[in-house]
A and B are shown apart, each in its own frame.
Chain A
């Protein structure tokens, strides 16, 4: 096994050689390699989760185990039967044959919030598509990510994977990442991380599958089972101390059912803050200059954050609830905070609730995820038509719901596309199918309508579109 290097030209040289050898593998060989890497990630799920929690100081190791399970077991289960090599479809009627080809070396940016799980996920989808992966982790998570990559790489090699099909940068500088992003040999960037990094990936000129920022509104509609809704929201928002970008950011609830929800939240350890405490919380949770979340609170517990803010809360406090009157920069907590903090809005009716959700959606969360608890199909449809979100999750925890595979049949993924609203090319949960170049053989199939149509009529200016169309589509 070659030693990891930080010399970009060497990294790319190795990656290109791996890409070349990859083209020789068939589906069965490829799937054996993927399975080996999956097992390595899965069998080390606990150790890697503990390493990640220890190194980053974020979240809870137990929840990071679940993330590793999703990234390994659920992702593998989702992609294992996918055809990714050679002819993947052949339609005799249309004459179109589709051939899957690898893209080439892929740069995988790994965020500090979900380091080992994102690394496992990206390794599996790259191997499945025969693309060499170069992993660039957040500086604060480089050891746990290196260990993840090393384990998967060893296992892949043992299954006859090409040498250097998985590389990782042991020391990462901004300049190196930049140099890699713009390298002519790089095929694609899988950019999961903050807005700055994703923008920089897009600016590199290399095709990029990126993610957008989230600001997930949760609407508890009048027909919802309120106790269930609150239980699910707590399950989600407390998961890994709120580090998943699809975690709930604001609760919007109709006044008629608000007292029930407040009692349920309180029963489960949520603390409703008064106006003075909200001010104190804003001061530590949000940076004044940028209006963005303060990294110091990300992934911390409610009691730790309360202590930082100088707010008295019970020792068993789980979640900090900030009642707010509006959305925007003048209400700092109406933006995204990846921590156990929730904005809280009580409104009169459905229309007003949806309006607040639209405001939250447009306040930094376009295209990402929205959540709704409701048992009224018409209201679910209306809400979904009005929000701009790649994922609209109904009656389920949004953190675990958005990543797919647990509470719904979305593709399990640690890279959630946010569409053009989030400056992404897709709203999909990114997976192996996005990492292929699909070639199409188009066999001759003459357009029968054109063949029998008198094409001289196109030259006659007196014939309008409707007349031509009628004659073109005429039977017999």
Chain B
């Protein structure tokens, strides 16, 4: 389930645990629309996320491109997901905290 909140001047998204292709296609448009119009930095809070499909990586890249200079920040990234971002090389494009 997708949730978005304003926190410390950021637009923070929280996701369901299993970000497979179906879930990503369900949330993609909403995330894209909200981040396109957002003036503040975007943060993806990955607390509890245990799987990300290719579609989620694509979503991250799209949000980063639309971010208008503010890098997309991923927080509370668990080790298995961190490994995905390291191997894909996306850790150099995005900010992982």
* A positions within 8 Å CB-CB of B: 351, 354-355, 358-359, 362, 382, 386
Q: Is the CB of A354 within 8 A of B79?
A: yes
Q: 4 more A-B contacts (CB under 8 A) besides A351-B78, A358-B82, A382-B79?
A: A354-B79, A354-B82, A358-B86, A386-B79
The residue among B77, B78, B86 with the most chain A CB atoms within 10 A of its own CB is: B86
Residues of B close to A362: CB separation below 8 A: 86, 91
B17: shortest Cβ distance to chain A, in Å?
15
Q: How far is the CA of A362 from the CA of B80 in the complex (A)?
A: 14
Is B83 close to A, CB under 8 A? Answer: yes
Residues of B close to A354: CB separation below 8 A: 79, 82
Q: How far is the CA of A26 from the CA of B91 in the complex (A)?
A: 55
Residues of B close to A386: CB separation below 8 A: 79-80, 83
If over half of B's interface residues share one DSSP class (helix, strand or loop), that class is named, otherwise mixed; here it is helix
Residues of A close to B82: CB separation below 8 A: 354-355, 358
A291: shortest Cβ distance to chain B, in Å?
15
Q: Mark B73-91, 1 if CB is under 8 A from A, else 0.
A: 0000111101100100001
The size of the chain B interface, using a CB distance under 8 A, is 8
Nearest residue, chain A, Cβ from B89: A362
A365: shortest Cβ distance to chain B, in Å?
12
Residues of B close to A351: CB separation below 8 A: 78-79
Residues of A close to B78: CB separation below 8 A: 351
Q: How far is the CA of A382 from the CA of B3 in the complex (A)?
A: 29
Residues of A close to B77: CB separation below 8 A: 355
Nearest residue, chain B, Cβ from A350: B79
Q: How far is the CA of A359 from the CA of B83 in the complex (A)?
A: 9
Residues of B close to A358: CB separation below 8 A: 79, 82-83, 86
Q: How far is the CA of A354 from the CA of B80 in the complex (A)?
A: 9
B44: shortest Cβ distance to chain A, in Å?
16
Contacting residues of chain B (40-97) with chain A, CB-CB under 8 angstroms: 77-80, 82-83, 86, 91
Q: How far is the CA of A354 from the CA of B79 in the complex (A)?
A: 6
Q: How far is the CA of A386 from the CA of B80 in the complex (A)?
A: 6
Q: How far is the CA of A382 from the CA of B78 in the complex (A)?
A: 12
Q: How far is the CA of A359 from the CA of B82 in the complex (A)?
A: 9
A381: shortest Cβ distance to chain B, in Å?
12
A295: shortest Cβ distance to chain B, in Å?
29
Nearest residue, chain A, Cβ from B97: A355
Q: How far is the CA of A347 from the CA of B45 in the complex (A)?
A: 19
Nearest residue, chain B, Cβ from A386: B79
